[in-house]
């Protein structure tokens, strides 16, 4: 059976992850029947990229009322997800939403209630769960390799390419993204919830902006395109000469003044780049979490300590291995930025890297290793496996990869609790954030 899908938010993710995949890879089971964006230029561009006859809209209600649609795919900026999810549910549609489910506890409650009232279904596109390496962590934990889990240590590193990108555009304002504790860490908190198969109890957090601060770059402008110190800024993004970004953003600025090249040192930024949280789970499990958005490399590291031993996973994602590259353009692309295991890079030597290893250290000695081939494609192979699940479905999924609205809420509520904890300097219980009828 072919299902009809509409997309609201035809930016980077809407076009590439959903639009192009439906049109080019899932047309036997999925049909794109409508495209909507507040930016008339960008939605017209999406139509040109995806196929000239897909109807376009700048008004969501109009799209819902005029095209056949079973499922709405929500890929707008984070703070607007709730509005479209609730509207779609109330129109009798199912929803696939990008992460984070939303940006505040109030909005999460609204979504959960609308889903309950309408009986329709919300799926949250937690692609990280589907990356084979992360799936293997889940499998080993489910088999009980570490015994009873006592604690988890989780660190995530964003480099000066990917990390910086959050400080250039809408993500840099908490009102749009919830900050990186919500926008980015929702992936990580969802992984922890899913790996442990538990819901969090309470959170305490600290965070600050340490690197992307105005004082670091005196004389900086509002955006790269009009800046006068581009020759000495390691974050200069030449939008006009970056074809994919020019066509998607610069060419349509007149409609909404969305700058894709805002200054990463802007005075207006209000999100943190350095964050730590302690999260308490049932059974006394504690989790220590840290996220840094300006490190020399990209990747993550997690460890589970339990009654039988310790399981460690480590995925180095990217690094500039051959000397410093203060030029942003050179630093962002190959051969500058590469997928290498940065622990073993030496001057003049960049080792090949194909497989990821999980290491289990039994409590009383020895080690067991599990090798996982690197997933092909974006997000460690997670995007492709998620698309297969969303559009074709899977018959049997004992590891429960599919994330529902409750999982989406639990992941973003840790971030919302962390934000509240930072503001009020106290432990925040997840129960405080959920309406009593939704507990």
Spatial neighbors of 269 by CB under 8 A, at least 6 apart, are: 167, 172, 173, 209, 212
CA-to-CA distance for 150 and 118, rounded, in angstroms? 39
Assigned token pair, 380 = 């460690």
Shortest approach of ligand NAD to residue 231 CB, angstroms? 28
Given 5, 6, 7, 10, the residue binding ligand NAD (CB under 6 A): 10
From candidates 33, 56, 71, 76, binder to ligand NAD by CB under 6 A: 76
Q: Which residues of 75-101 are buried (b: 16+ CB within 10 A; e: fewer)?
A: bbbbbbbbbbbbbbbebebbbbbbbbb
Q: Which residues contact 222 (CB under 8 A, 6 or more apart)?
A: 259, 262, 263, 266
Segment interacting with ligand NAD, rule: CB under 6 A, options 71-79, 202-210, 295-303, 366-374: 71-79
Binding ligand NAD (rule: CB under 6 A), the pick from 75, 102, 225, 405 is 75
Compute how many residues bind ligand NAD; rule: CB under 6 A: 22
Terminal Cα-to-Cα distance of the chain (whole angstroms): 36
Q: How distant is the alpha carbon of residue 276 from its chain centre?
A: 18
Q: Which stretch binds ligand NAD (CB under 6 A): 69-77, 201-209, 312-320, 401-409?
A: 69-77
Q: Which residues, numbered 308-337, are part of the site for ligand NAD (CB under 6 A)? A: none
Out of 6, 22, 38, 108, the only residue in the binding site for ligand NAD (CB under 6 A) is 38
- The number of C-alpha atoms within 13 Å of 142 and in the hemisphere containing its C-beta is 14
Q: Which is nearer to ligand NAD, 123 or 183 (CB)?
A: 183
Does 99 contact ligand NAD by CB under 6 A? Answer: yes
Binding segment for ligand NAD (CB under 6 A), chosen from 3-11, 206-214, 279-287, 337-345, is 3-11
- Is 134 a binder of ligand NAD (CB under 6 A)? no
Closer to ligand NAD by Cβ: residue 254 or 424? 254
Closest listed residue to residue 301, CA positions, set 314, 288, 318, 310: 314
- Asked if 80 is part of the footprint of ligand NAD (rule: CB under 6 A), the reply reads yes
Q: Which of 4, 12, 118, 322 binds ligand NAD (CB under 6 A)?
A: 12
Spatial separation of the C-alpha atoms in residues 275 and 156, rounded to whole Å: 10
Q: Which residues bind ligand NAD (CB under 6 A)?
A: 8-14, 37-39, 42, 75-78, 80, 98-99, 125, 127, 183, 379
């Amino acid at each position: 059976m072919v299902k009809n899908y509409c997309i609201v938010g035809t930016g980077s993710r809407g076009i590439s992850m959903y639009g192009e995949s439906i049109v080019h890879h899932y047309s036997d089971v999925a049909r794109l029947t409508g495209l909507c964006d507040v930016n008339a230029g960008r939605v017209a561009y999406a139509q040109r990229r995806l196929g000239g006859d897909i109807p376009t809209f700048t008004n969501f209600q109009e799209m819902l009322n005029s095209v056949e649609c079973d499922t709405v795919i929500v890929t707008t900026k984070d703070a607007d997800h709730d509005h479209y999810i609730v509207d779609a549910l109330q129109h009798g549609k199912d929803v696939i939403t990008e992460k984070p489910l939303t940006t505040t506890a109030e909005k999460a409650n609204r979504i959960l209630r609308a889903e309950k009232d309408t009986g329709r279904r919300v799926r949250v596109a937690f692609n990280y769960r589907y990356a084979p390496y992360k799936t293997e962590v889940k499998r080993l934990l489910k088999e009980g390799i570490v015994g009873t889990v006592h604690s988890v240590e989780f660190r995530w590193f964003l480099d000066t390419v990917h990390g910086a990108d959050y400080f250039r555009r809408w993500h840099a304002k908490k009102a749009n993204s919830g900050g990186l504790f919500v926008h980015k860490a929702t992936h990580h908190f969802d992984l922890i919830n899913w790996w442990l198969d538990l819901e969090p109890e309470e959170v305490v957090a600290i965070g600050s902006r340490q690197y992307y601060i105005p004082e670091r770059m005196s004389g900086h402008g509002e955006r790269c395109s009009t800046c006068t110190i581009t020759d000495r800024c390691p974050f200069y993004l030449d939008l006009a000469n970056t074809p994919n970004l020019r066509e998607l953003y610069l060419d349509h600025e007149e409609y909404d003044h969305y700058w894709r090249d805002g200054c990463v040192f802007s005075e207006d930024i209000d999100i943190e780049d350095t964050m730590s949280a302690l999260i308490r789970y049932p059974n006394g499990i504690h989790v220590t979490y840290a996220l840094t958005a300006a490190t020399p490399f990209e990747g993550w590291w997690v460890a589970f300590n339990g009654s039988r031993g310790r399981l460690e996973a480590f995925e180095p994602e990217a690094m500039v291995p051959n000397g410093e590259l203060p030029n942003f353009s050179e630093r962002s692309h190959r051969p500058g930025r590469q997928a290498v295991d940065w622990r073993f890079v030496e001057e003049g030597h960049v080792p090949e890297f194909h497989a990821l290893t999980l290491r289990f250290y039994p409590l009383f000695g020895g080690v067991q290793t599990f090798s996982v081939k690197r997933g092909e494609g974006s997000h460690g192979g997670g995007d492709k496996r998620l698309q297969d699940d969303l559009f074709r479905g899977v018959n049997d999924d004992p590891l429960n990869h599919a994330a529902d609205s409750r999982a989406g809420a639990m992941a973003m509520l840790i971030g919302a609790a962390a934000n509240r904890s930072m503001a009020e300097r106290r432990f925040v219980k997840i129960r405080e954030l959920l309406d009593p009828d939704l507990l």
